[in-house]
Amino acid sequence: MIKSSLWKRMVFGYAVIALFMLVMNFYLIFRLNHLNKHSASIMRSDIPYMENSEKLFDILLEQVKNEKKYIITGDHAFLDLFQDKKRDFDKRLKSLDETATDAESRSFVSQLKNLYHEYVAMVSKEFLLVGGDENASPDPRYEHENKKKFDQLTESINKLIVTQQAALIKKIELFQKTVRKSTQISTAITGFAVLFGAIFAYFFTRSICYPIKVIKDATDGIAQGNLDCHIKVASRDEIGMLGLAFNHMCDRLKELDRMKAEFISNISHNLKTPLTAIREANELMLDKVAGQVSDQQVRLLTIVKESTLRLIMMINDLLDISRVEAGLMRYNFQITMIKDIILRSIHEIRLLAESKNIKIQYVNGAPVPEVLLDRNKIAQVMDNILSNAIKFTPSGGMITITHNEIAPSVAAHVSLEQKRINNVNSFVQVSISDTGIGIPVEYHQKIFDKFQQVDNKGIGGMKGTGLGLSIAKHIVLDHGGNIWVENNNGKGSTFHFTLPCKVDYGQNL
């Protein structure tokens, strides 16, 4: 699947989130304006309307009181008060008529207006009777009609108030409903924005982190020597371009590694033949086959012999590592006592150790079982470890060799995943300890890689090919064991390698 660039994906994701926020803001602004109109309507119309309606009742009561007082006393002051309240009542009634917002309210106001006019007409008529004849007595029917009209007016006012209260409650409920709905919609928009942001962040982060992890794992594979770590490129974004560049780098490294291996193999083969001839000619001259040689010539020929042997050993290491990498290393397995190989290696390297005044101590502990192994290859492992121990152990030091049988369950460094081994009952562990300069912890794994050497500053003349321990590791692993190094508590280091005993090997060894 071809994907857009990381920049475009980021812009798209943030644009969608910004769009959600913009929609929510516009919606909230719209709703707030709507709510503001509702609240303004309530404050400007409904509340004054209710106050006027309630005030009508108070005014009516005042009028009734002044009416009674005027009829009883005939005092025109009460008549003036009655007329003032009438004007106030008419004014508020007119205001209610103008501000009525629905047909029901207007109907109640119209009914109230008619009833009030009837009441005023009836009272005015009674006032004329009272004012014209001071001895006139009130009409007996007037009290009854007045009370009836008063009840009708109060009932009409109450209906008006109840209607307006119901309308106000309805508006408040609508207001609350709008608030709830706005809150729900805003919450939903925010939730969608957060959900989209979380999903976008997850997939966007995964689209970056997962390919980077794949490249990192492939890089670790290359660091371990596996140059076939191609990665699958599924996009054309910046990560995809990085993957293509990584694959191209792997191809180039693999090609360079192949060219290097071919070069080393060709040079090694081409050098081995003339060096062998030089060694043989040197041996003949030292044996005085070609005539007598002086002592000074013998010393020079001995230097040539040692240098030739060192070159031949380096070439053999190069050839061995080439065979190991090509899977062409052949083994001749035989039932052997590990003690015999240890003693053979000690014997062959003793002169080198004595020349540096280094003592080699072999601790012959409890008997160990015989092991099915290649004598020459395991001897090569011993020689490589011992020669390194002598190189890095100062004069007067000591090298100690031990061996013992261990169970697989207690062999923490032993790998039981060798596919060509079945029924592992026990292991033989060989340990070579020295009192040398030791190996830094960060080099404990690296020294078993090709061309890796410890940077030992101040110690000269101790450089090699850096292949000995790598070859030793391959040999031990091919035998079904393992090899590792540990620092001693005091000084120096200890190399351990294990070999399985009492096992069945596959037929392809």
Question: What are the pLDDT digits (tens) for 228-278?
Answer: 777 777 777 777 788 788 888 888 877 777 776 677 666 666 776 787 778
Question: What are the pLDDT digits (tens) for 35-67?
Answer: 777 677 666 666 777 777 778 888 888 888 888
Of 135-144, 289-298, 327-336, the poorest mean pLDDT is in 135-144
How far is Cα of residue 88 from the mean position of the Cα atoms in its chain? 78
Provide CB contacts within 8 A for 279, sequence distance 6+. Answer: 305, 308, 309, 312
pLDDT of residue 502: 58
Of 318-322, 421-425, 455-459, 485-489, the poorest mean pLDDT is in 455-459
Question: What are the pLDDT digits (tens) for 356-381?
Answer: 899 999 988 778 888 889 998 999 89
CATH 3.40.50.2300 holds for 336-505: no
Provide CB contacts within 8 A for 153, sequence distance 6+. Answer: 60, 112, 115, 116, 119
Mean pLDDT of the chain: 78
Is the pLDDT confidence value at 493 over 80?
Answer: yes
C-alpha span between 196 and 193 (Å, rounded): 5
Percent of the chain whose predicted confidence (pLDDT) is above 70: 82
- Name the most confidently modeled range: 7-16, 231-240, 259-268, 439-448: 439-448
Distances (CA, A) of 410 to 126, 348, 415: 125, 33, 11
Provide CB contacts within 8 A for 187, sequence distance 6+. Answer: none
pLDDT of residue 507: 42
User: Is 333 strand, coil or helix?
Assistant: strand
User: Is 446 strand, coil or helix?
Assistant: helix
In the block, tokens 């001897």 appear at 379
Is the pLDDT confidence value at 347 over 80?
Answer: yes
Contact indicator for 116, 129 with CB cutoff of 8 Å? no
Percent of the chain whose predicted confidence (pLDDT) is above 90: 6
Question: What are the pLDDT digits (tens) for 115-135?
Answer: 888 888 888 877 777 665 555
Domain boundaries defined on the chain: 6-201, 238-323, 336-505
pLDDT of residue 484: 92
Question: What are the pLDDT digits (tens) for 155-194?
Answer: 887 877 787 777 777 777 777 787 788 788 878 878 877 8
Q: Which CATH class is domain 238-323?
A: mainly alpha
| More confident position, 398 or 288 | 398
Its pTM surpasses 0.75? no
Please state whether beta strands 398-406 and 359-363 pair in parallel, antiparallel, or not at all (unpaired): parallel
Question: What are the pLDDT digits (tens) for 96-113?
Answer: 777 777 777 778 778 888
